A and B are shown apart, each in its own frame.
Chain A
């Protein structure tokens, strides 16, 4: 409704977003009336049972799916009004998306998967490769850079997907179960890395079944049957990593 006054620090806003899949008898309500706002430096975790609408919310927030009703605003841009080219540019430049099923390109090596979005955005090949190697280093995959996805373990593929989402300093990171295939140490490594990106000024949504990982967020939102039922906020707004590390 209110198309005015989106705070400069607000990266993402969902206004009364509802999503129905299918029609008539078989219609499924995946989300109903969800409001959500993400600012710079803010990480929000989404928890909820299987089928509660978490992935739907994330794909809508990332402009991959258009909601049945409600608005999605990224950096002040109403996605409903965006032209396809604008939408593609937002996805390439602003958004880092970690898919629940990783979504790697099988014909490309790990480092090529990570550098692909940068090259599509016009980066020089060598510079994109360097940035991709840095991102793989953050998830401790230096020694697998030239392997193809099929030759990587599930958790390694997941880390490639994470590196691809954070490479090049995206402002908004949307991660669907990014630690689902990881052991707890590696999961924590990923969360620390994500958290430090957020503390540097990005924003993010983290979908997770794991309360231990959700606890790295500033806010935790619980979904049930497509609605927000509970919300837990950190008491003060100071950064998680501000005091050290």
Chain B
């Protein structure tokens, strides 16, 4: 998403000026996405250039009002009604790091998983705590904020599940390769110390 679509959606409710748009945008997204007023003006300029909004009157206080055009309204509608497509998902840093780690002989991918899991769970705990401590969910601002926090909570949860899934896959692979390889391999119940730290990430040349 962009601020651009958010402003268009707001302007589809009626003409407004820059500062008012900034305040409304932040309020309606539960203050989860602060924007500065300069960013709003730049976006309005681009929307005007693209014919999606028109500059209207200036009021007594010098506020320049912008109104949505017909093609702007169509754009706002199609953004609201269309699905969000997440383009860069395949380039998730964590997934790439783990994929590389599995191929590097002196890196323990399970250590990466453990360190990440502790960190992700901790942020999940923080999000949960701030949600639990939140105010009255009947106020529109609080409700908007909680929707956004929920999204972050579900994303963190998904990451933990993926980490566990990956750990299980890696262990299964290791069990298979060690069963086929040298004798006297470690059994699944052999004591194993938990790696406390990530191996230094820059040991191997990854270029």
Q: Can you spell out 20 A-B residue pairs with CB atoms less than 8 angstroms apart?
A: A192-B132, A211-B121, A211-B160, A211-B161, A212-B124, A212-B156, A215-B128, A215-B153, A222-B117, A225-B192, A229-B194, A230-B117, A230-B194, A231-B118, A234-B125, A244-B132, A244-B134, A244-B135, A245-B132, A245-B133
Q: A215 contacts which of B124, B133, B192 (Cβ < 8 Å)?
A: B124
* A226 to B188 Cα, complex, angstroms: 11
A165 CB, min distance to chain B CBs, angstroms: 21
Interface size on A, residues (CB 8 A): 30
Interface of B is mostly: helix
By a beta-carbon cutoff of 8 Å, the part of chain A in contact with chain B is 29, 32, 49, 192, 195, 210-212, 214-217, 220, 222, 224-227, 229-232, 234-235, 240-245
B163 CB, min distance to chain A CBs, angstroms: 9
Contacts of A226 in B (CB 8 A): 189
Q: Are A49 and B127 in contact (CB under 8 A)?
A: no
Q: Are A240 and B132 in contact (CB under 8 A)?
A: yes
Contacts of A192 in B (CB 8 A): 132
By a beta-carbon cutoff of 8 Å, the part of chain B in contact with chain A is 114, 117-118, 120-122, 124-129, 132-135, 153-154, 156-157, 160-161, 164, 168, 188-189, 191-192, 194
Q: A49 contacts which of B120, B156, B168 (Cβ < 8 Å)?
A: B168
* A242 to B133 Cα, complex, angstroms: 7
Q: Are A216 and B128 in contact (CB under 8 A)?
A: yes
Known: A226-B189, A227-B191. A214 touches B164 (CB 8 A): no
B117 CB, min distance to chain A CBs, angstroms: 7
Contacts of A32 in B (CB 8 A): 191
CB-nearest residue of chain B to A234: B125
Q: Are B118 and A212 in contact (CB under 8 A)?
A: no
A197 CB, min distance to chain B CBs, angstroms: 14
Q: Are B127 and A215 in contact (CB under 8 A)?
A: yes
Q: Are B153 and A240 in contact (CB under 8 A)?
A: no
* A231 to B156 Cα, complex, angstroms: 17
